[in-house]
Every structure is written in structure tokens, then in C-alpha cells.
Structure 1
Amino acid sequence: MKNIDIQVISKQSIKPSASTPDHLRHYHLSFLDQIEPTIFIPMIFFYPKQADHIILTKKQLVDRIKNSLSESLTLFYPLAGRVKNKLYVECNDEGACYFEAEAKCKLSDILQNPNPHDMNHLLPFELDDVNGLPLIVQVTFFECEGITLGVGINHEVADGFSFIKFLNTWSALSRGETDFRPPIFGTAKLFPPRDMSGFTLNFGIVKDNILAKRFVFDAAKIAALRNRYAEDKDTDNYQKRPTRVEALSAFIWNRFMVSTQPKETRSNKIYTILHAVNIRSRMEPVLAENYFGNIYSIAVSVPSMENEDGFEEILKPVKDSINNINPEFVKALQQTDGGHLDFLKQRSTQISKGEVISFRFTSLCRFPVYEADFGWGNPVFAGSARWTFKNLVVFIDTKVGDGIEAWINLKEEDMAKFEVDEELLEFVSPTLNANKNLIN
């Protein structure tokens, strides 16, 4: 679907239901927060017309969303403040930015073949138009009486795991539940902030010329890829098989290289695969899951350029880099000397000069994305949007069937080559009309 027609009908700030205490008014960002790009992480949830036994007027529906959001902001108080210079959040209770809009179409017009670019229209702002806002929300009403809930959280204050925890706490409050673990703050004590003045990290952000597409891989195709990249194909030892995300990452990177990076152009360049790794469980002692903030690190692997199509060439470097995100690595992250920041500065310079070509994967697989029930049922579909990063892949579980959706962001000229790669298309499931049964 192109040129989706959406009209904003109201704008306001949703403030916390209770004022933030004075001693919590200055929320320090951690080092891991500081090195994040100033961009919103997007999620959009689709809800069809309410079931017959759950009938809410439009006013009742939005009141429930806004009231529960207000309650949530009392718990997640930094999300109602304003981020200041990658140093701290001024928790001034200004509130989250909240929009309501109307769409001149039906949910099915989007869901028959979800387009990441359409998703951006279901958010109040462009993803890089942050201006210190920690949280943005847009409720969009459709002609079929369905709605979407578009939410963006500033990456400077939260990672994907914390984002989903917030969303599910918010939805639990909307349902009137109180049996959940409240967030824990204080990551600046675990990862002390650094002096970042005069230095801007190069994240590969490109304002224009990025095309995003959604590719769906069903369980059978993923299983075939896991077998392809198995360490030992002559054994039934499943421990030696890569995970779903590892195998799919290797395959997508391989097809990107083959389709867009001719071998004659690869000299004097370093090609790296980046995986976001949640480090809560990799610390000693293990950190509670309800710690809020950016509590992950990037595993950097450099695959072999001799034959980039196998376990030894791709998966072994990836597995090794992920395994290296261990308690000793985390302790090094917590040190306030040069260390990791010096590495990031060097890598940023190399990226700026075109010496390093990075391909980044982040996964929401196994996260409870589809538990965002605000009192009228679970979403029939949940998705991301077009990011302003080149060479970025976001993995999200399909709602049913143990498949994975890959939301892939590439430069337009690279996507034109990648999306017609014959071997890629052998593994991609048809998406047109795939979600039609969800809303009929």
C-alpha cells in the first residue's frame, strides 16, 4: 500500500498519575545509554474491531489507554521527562507525547502485505526526530473500527528488552492487573557515564536513500538453514546446530554479500557482522530482568572472505563473538578508562572512511511482543518500521508457526539487488495476503 492517508486529530502530553519525587528528578544515563544513537525504537500493534463481548466506545478506549499510560509513567518516571545532552533525563513530568489520528483505509489494506514504510505513518514523528523526548505514542483509528497503537521509545534510555517490558506493564495496568515486577533503575552505577564531549559515534545512520522490506521465513525453511550451517552435518547432536537467529543471520549476510558486494570491490575493506546481546544474564551476579535501560552489548565478528558460506566461515566467528560477551567482558565495560570507548572511536573513524562495512542484527525473538493486551485482546499483528540505519535487520517472531520476520533496512541500490537474489527467494515465504485471515 502506498500513500496511506492519515490525519492527526489531536495532540497532547500524558503526564504521570503522581508527581515524581524530588530525589528522583535527575536520572543519570549510563555509559551504555550514552553510546546509543538518538533515535526512537519503533513498535506498531494492530487491533481489529473489538469482540462482541468487549464493547468500548472510542472515548472509553482512549481513556483506558491514556489513564493506564499515565499510571505507567509514574513507575517508569524517566519516560515522562526530557533527555539532556546524552548526560541525564530531567524528570520534570512534562509527559509522553500522545497523538490520535484517523486513517482513510482499513487495517486489512495494510495487513495483507505489511510495508515498513507504512508503519512510520502510524507514529507521531520520524524516528530521528527525537528532540529529547523519551516516549511517543499514536493511536490511529481505521474505517473498519480497528486501531493501531504506535509506540517509539528513545534508544538513549532503553533497549528493546526494556521497551517490551514497559509495553507489557502498561498493558497489564490497562487490564487492571497489579501482579508484575516494577522496573529497577540505576544502571549509571553499574556502567558509569563517560565524557563524550567533542565526539559523535558513527552508527551508519542515513537520513535518506534507505529502503526497508519485510521478509518472512517459515519454520521449515529456518530448520533447513540450521542444518546447512550445522557444525557437524553427520551427527544428530542438536547442540551443534546454530540457533534460529544465528542461522538466519548467516544466510541473510551471505546473500547480502553475494548480491551487493562483488569480490573485486572487497579489497582494503573490513566486513563485520554485529549482533546485539542482552548482558543481564551474562553478568556476575546476574542482573534482574526488570532492570531498565540499555543493558546489552554488541558482539562483533569478522567472517572469512575466502568462502563466506559455511559454519567455519560465518557461524564460528559469530558464535565466538557472542560467547566472548561474558562476565569478564562486562567487567571491562564497567571500567571508566579508555577501553571500550577507545575501540568505538576507532571503529567510528573507520566507518566514516568507508574502511569498515558493518551489517547489524537485533532480535526480538522470544520476547513477549504479542502479550500487549490492553483489555480488548492481543494484537493480531505487531511490527517494526523503516529505520534510518543502513544494513540493519530486526528479527520478530511470526505470531504463529515458529517462523521469523526479518525487517531489513538497506540502501536503495543494495535492496534492488538483494531482494531479487534467487537463493534468498527460495527461502522467503510469500507475504501477499498472508495476514488476511487475521482480520476477516
Structure 2
Amino acid sequence: MKVEIQSKNLIKPSFGTPSILRRYKISFIDEFAPTTYVPLVLFIPSSNGDVSCSIAKLRKSLEKTLTLMYPLAGRYIEDIREVDCNDQGVEFIQSQVDITIEEILHLKENPKVINEFLPLKIWSTFEATNPLLAIQVTIFRCGGLALGVNMSHKIGDAATLTTFLTQWATFSRRETKVEVVANSIFPVSGLFPSRGLSPFEIHFANSESNDDYVTIKLSFNGYAISKMRAKATLGGKINTHHMSKGQLVSALLWKAFIGVDYAIYGHPKCSALVQPIDLRHGTISLIPKNAFGNLWGLIVTSCDTIKEFAELTTLLTDNFKETTNEYLKVGHDNHEMKKVILNSFSHYTNIPNSTEIIWSTSWCKFPFYGVNFGFEKPLWISFGFGTFKRSIILLDDEGGDGVEAYVNLGVKHVPYFEQDEDIKAFASGKQRTKL
């Protein structure tokens, strides 16, 4: 497979951003966000139309989208924690590849292949002078498209990316006029003003270190999820019907990580599973679901012994319920909410150095498969090949009932990880990709 870049341009908003909207202040949650780009690739089959017309439609509709979501076309100023909404533009790359989209679906168990369709190296470090958004449209030999997106985590999360893609797709489907307005999608920075805080230090793998790392892609279909739910029931002690499939898979993979440490060290090590939680639906007074920016807290669940899958599921479920209840007690527009969010971050920063940290991020239920640019809906979406030392990233599968998990871990840990009885029982599609 050879991806050939044909052009690189900066796409600017169709209308200039008014001077009154020139400065966009980030929130303190934005300050905490990792200094990386959030990646995603959508694989869209051929619609039997003119590909050049499709590209032109994407460019024109992107200009309209940037008029509404104008901070994306600006540049971040670190010293004053603001985005200069100067309409400098987002990077737009057009490329082509010498295979069909059907062939890439046969390669989808290899996460590293997916990186070829992203405009930036996955989890590239964000620099203040860089574009906040980069897009790569790759044309397959059959006329299908791969739409790769990298959005700076400094100004948005997965929900923000969803809002952007949905709005872009809407403008692509319809010939709609657009006006520059200070609308309701930018409440976050006002609700949670910046405090001069430092971003999280995420544990990235170092490609120059002695230990190599791999990304393993595991698939859990709908049948496997139902069997996992039944196993987690613990004789009726917990109600698994209200438990998300993401929580089930996170518990199962966490158990495997705990088993790795036991196999290597001969005794269980304390570990902590860290999970971001979207706050757009988690307070008394709901924040708009299309609110722009980072809007999440953290749930930290710790374990210092060897536990079975059902026990870890109960532990996660109880902690998740307790934490979300704390958010539900307060409104989004008062001091108590700020305190609850800051406390959730302190739970992470106060984790002892001796504790093994596993990040588990779930993008399940985000409607990426429903994004419709007026062509065909995506056949498949992917995260690509990551570089975390220990992490879990979850996405819906194309059927909607299952989960695709991207698991990052040390190469020497893989044999122990794959020997976990529940991994062998429920997971399929084990494919390693070396860092």
C-alpha cells in the first residue's frame, strides 16, 4: 500500500471572524487536556459519483463549518491561554492510495496501516504555532474515501470532534447559508475559566527506549458482550443490564493487565484504572450536547489484589455510580461543580508512583457511524496506532453491538496478557503492531 500526497492547503472560514470574537479563552479543563491531537479515520465507500466533485463539496462545506466553529481555524497562544481566532486556517491534505477500500477492510486488524490515512502522526505533540485541526482526504482506487482528522486536544474532546464532523456533514449534504454568530456551543470557557494549570503528563512510549511497545486490536462482538454480561452477574448481586459494554470490556482488559504484573513480579501490584467521563449529560442542569471544548472529569478506580472479572466489574460499576452521583448533585454553573471536577483530577495526580496506571477511554455511543456527508455512510471507523505505554481505547464496531479495543502495552508483556482466560474466551482479532 502506497499513499501519495497530491496537495496541501490551508482552508479558511467562508466568512471572516468578527473582531469581537477574535479571542477565545480556554477553560481549566482545556488546560488539563494532554498536549496531543485527537485522531480518527472514517472509511467511506464509493458513491459512484465524480470524486473531484466530492472533494470540492468537502472543501466548500468545511469553509462553512469553520465559520461557525471559528476557533478551529485559529492559533493557540500559550502565554495567555487563548486561541487567536485569526482565520489562519486548518490544514487540508488530498492524497490517493493504490488499493481499494475493500482491501483496507481486510487489513483493518493492523492498526499501524490506519496511520497512513491521518494527516499527522498519531498522538503528535501539539505546538502552539501548529493548526488546531488537520484533515486528510485519501481517494481509493475504487473511488471510496478515507477521511482522517486530527484535532488538538487543547480545545476539544471526542464530543467536540463529533459536533464538528456532524456539522461538516450537514453542510456537505445541504446548500445552506451560514452566518458568523456567537452561539450557544461555546459555554465551557465561561463556565470553567482558566486557572493557569498544567496539562496531564500522559505516559507515552519512547520509541528509543529498550522496551518496545505494541498496539493490539481486539474485537468483542455482540454475542461476546452478552456472554461477558452474564459472567459479570455474580449470581444477581449486580444489575448488569445498566452496565455499558465499555465498562464490561474495560473491566476484562484491566483484569488482564493485573495478571501481567502478577506473572512478572510474582505478586499483585496496586493498579488504577483511569476513565474520562463526559459531563454534558452528567449534571442537574444539562450542558448542551454540542458544547465546544473539553468537558470531562475523571473516574479513578484502584485495586491492589488479584480479582476475578466479576469482582472488577462490580468495583468499576460501584465507583462509576458513586462518582456520577456526585456530579448529579450539582449544577454546571456554580462553584460546587468546579470543585467536583478539580477533585476528580486530583484523584489522578495523587496516584502513588508505585501504582500502575491504565487509561481507559471509551468512544462507544458517539455517532461516528451515522456521519453522512451526502455520499455513503462510513463502512468502518478507526483510531489508528497509538503510543501510550498502558492504555485502552474503545470504539463501537461497525454493527453497533460490539466493541473494538486498541490496547497498548510493552511487547514483553504481550504473552502474559494474551494468556488471560477471559481474553482467550471473548476476544478475537488479536493483531500486534510494533511501535
Distance (Å, rounded) in 2 between the aligned partners of 1:168 and 1:212: 29
Summarize the Cα distance change of 1:258–1:156 in structure 2 as closer, same or farther, 3 Å threshold.
same
Following superposition, the deviation at residue 311 of structure 1 comes to 3.7
Identity over aligned residues, as a percent?
26
Query: Which residue in the other structure is 1:334 paired with?
Result: 338
Residues 337 and 247 (structure 1 numbering): CA distance in 2 closer, same or farther, change over 3 Å?
Answer: closer
Following TM superposition, by how much is the alpha carbon of 1:255 offset from its aligned partner in structure 2, in angstroms? 1.6
Please show how residues 4-403 of structure 1 align to structure 2 within 5 Å.
4-51=1-48, 55-56=49-50, 58-85=51-78, 87-114=81-108, 115-126=110-121, 127-132=123-128, 133-176=131-174, 184-196=185-197, 199=198, 201-208=200-207, 209-230=212-233, 232-234=234-236, 238=239, 242-262=243-263, 264=265, 269-305=269-305, 307-325=306-324, 326-328=327-329, 331-332=335-336, 334-335=338-339, 343-347=347-351, 350=352, 354-400=353-399, 402-403=401-402
Letter in 1 for 2:223: A
CA offsets per residue over residues 145-193 of structure 1, 9 Å max, x none? 2221101111111111121121011011100166999761031221121
Q: Say if 1:76 and 1:183, in contact at 8 Å, map to a contact too.
A: no
User: Which sits farther off after the overlay, 40-49 or 332-341?
Assistant: 332-341
In structure 1, list runs of 5 or more residues that go unmatched: 433-440
What's the CA shift for 1:327? 3.7
Instruction: Tell me if structure 1 keeps the 8 A contact 2:66–2:72.
Output: yes
Q: Which moved more, 1:98-107 or 1:179-188?
A: 179-188
What amino acid maps onto 1:299 in structure 2? I
Per-residue deviation, 1:210? 3.4
Q: Secondary structure at the match of 1:319?
A: helix
Helix, strand or coil at the partner of 1:233 = helix
Which is worse superposed, 321-330 or 205-214? Answer: 321-330
Separation in structure 2 between the aligned mates of residue 102 and residue 239 of structure 1, nearest angstrom: 46
- 2 CA distance for matches of 1:217 and 1:313? 18
Task: State the one-letter code of the partner of 2:358.
Answer: F
Q: Does 1:428 align with 2:427?
A: yes
Equivalence for 1:406: 405
Contact 1:247 1:315 in 2 (8 A): no
SS of the residue aligned with 1:289? coil
Q: Letter of the aligned partner of 2:375 in structure 1?
A: W
Alpha-carbon distance between aligned partners in 1 of 2:261 and 2:143, rounded to the nearest angstrom: 43
1:436 counterpart residue number: none
1:404 CA displacement: 1.1
C-alpha deviation, 1:376, in angstroms: 1.0
Could you tell me which amino acid in structure 1 is paired with residue 107 of structure 2?
N
Matched letter for residue 380 of structure 2: F
Amino acid across the alignment from 2:76: V
Aligned-partner SS, 1:320 = helix
Q: Deviations over 1:204-234 (max 9, x none)?
A: 122424322221111111111111112x424
**Quick one: distance in 2 between partners of 1:310 and 1:422?**
10
Over 3 Å counting, the alpha-carbon distance change for 1:118 and 1:261 in structure 2 is farther
1:49 is displaced (CA, Å) by 2.2
Q: Which moved more, 1:270-279 or 1:128-137?
A: 128-137
- Separation (CA, whole Å) in 1 of partners of 2:260 and 2:203: 20
C-alpha separation in 2, matches of 1:234 and 1:337: 33
Question: Normalising to structure 1: TM-score of the pair?
Answer: 0.86
Change (3 A) 1:369 1:342: closer
CA contact (8 A) 1:246 1:315 kept: no
Q: How many residues align?
A: 414
1:321 deviates by: 3.7
Question: How far does residue 6 in structure 1 lie from its aligned partner after superposition?
Answer: 1.4
Bigger shift: 295-304 or 179-188? 179-188
Is this contact kept in 2: 1:274–1:359, CA < 8 A? yes
User: Contact 1:229–1:241 at 8 Å: present in 2 too?
Assistant: no
